[in-house]
Amino acid sequence: MIHIAIFASGSGSNAENIAEYFRGHADIRVALILSNNPGAYVHERAKKLGIPTHTFSKAAFDEGSAVLDTLRAYKTDYIVLAGFLLKVSKPLLDAYPRRIVNIHPALLPKYGGKGMYGEKVHRAVVEAGETRSGITIHYVNENYDEGDIIFQASCEVSPGDAPEEVARKVHELEYAYFPRVIEAVIKSQYSLNPFSLPEKEGKEG
């Protein structure tokens, strides 16, 4: 069984959607949800889903060892960032090469980088008069939103669309594609050597 850990800083609607998608999956499951924000709504969602959560400070995240211990305790194979605000630190990048995937709510390389998060991104898109926006799913490297792009999908931005409307359209794309792209990434990496798939665990695994 491949174990995913999801990192989320806020509402966690993507985290929930991903966990639902993999519920009952033969080879992949969401084992853990982590957050830097103890007040984030993602904790409520995790509770309802029966998925354990772990909260850490920015300092602990940057230093890495406690977060890595937790990830290892849950036998984490892949990390998914779903609305996660902090920059991923070197210890995590080294421990999970090409195994950390992020979603960004715009068509990178536009509207990315430090501070470009959620609502701010959609406001910038509307203010620039863009006619399209969308999602970018990419591997994570040491810079914000600069890792290799895995997948993009776009939607129309109509004249008069408020940032909230763009957010709604982008969220729809996220829900439709993010879980399937995660599954494809994992399967493509394991299909190079199908015998390397970790052993299945017990019934509850």
Catalytic residue, from 104, 122, 138, 171: name it.
104
Considering only residues 2, 4, 7, 10, which one is a binding residue for ligand GAR as defined by CB under 6 A? 10
Q: Which is nearer to ligand GAR, 67 or 88 (CB)?
A: 88
Active site residue 104: yes
Q: State the minimum distance, in angstroms, from the CB of residue 60 to ligand GAR.
A: 21
Which range, of 6-14, 21-29, 46-54, 61-69, touches ligand GAR by CB under 6 A?
Answer: 6-14
The Cα–Cα gap between 123 and 102 comes to 20
| Residue 83 in the binding site for ligand GAR (CB under 6 A) | yes
Nearest to 174 by CA among 109, 87, 80: 80
| Residue 13 in the binding site for ligand GAR (CB under 6 A) | yes
Considering only residues 18, 121, 125, 157, which one is a binding residue for ligand GAR as defined by CB under 6 A? 121
How many residues form the binding site for ligand GAR (CB under 6 A)?
18
Q: Which is nearer to ligand GAR, 116 or 150 (CB)?
A: 116
Which range, of 53-61, 166-174, 182-190, 195-203, touches ligand GAR by CB under 6 A?
Answer: 166-174
For residues 20 and 177, the answer to whether their CB atoms sit within 8 Å is no
Q: State the minimum distance, in angstroms, from the CB of residue 107 to ligand GAR.
A: 12
The Cα–Cα gap between 65 and 63 comes to 6
Local structure of 163: helix, strand or coil: helix
65-73 contacts at long range (C-beta below 8 A, 24 or more positions apart): 65/91, 67/34, 67/92, 68/92, 68/95, 70/32, 70/34, 71/5, 71/32, 71/95
The Cα–Cα gap between 102 and 84 comes to 8
Return the residue nearest ligand GAR (CB atom).
83
Q: State the minimum distance, in angstroms, from the CB of residue 191 to ligand GAR.
A: 27
Q: Which parts of 90-109 interact with ligand GAR (CB under 6 A)?
A: 103-105
Q: State the minimum distance, in angstroms, from the CB of residue 17 to ligand GAR.
A: 8
What residues contact 186, with CB distance under 8 A and at least 6 apart? 2, 27, 28, 77, 78
* Helix residue ranges per DSSP H, 56-132: 58-63, 65-73, 90-95, 119-127
Peptide bond between residue 198 and the one before it cis (omega within 30 degrees of 0): no
Q: Which residues bind ligand GAR (CB under 6 A)?
A: 8, 10-14, 82-83, 103-105, 116-118, 121, 170-171, 174
- Tell me which residues are annotated as active site: 104
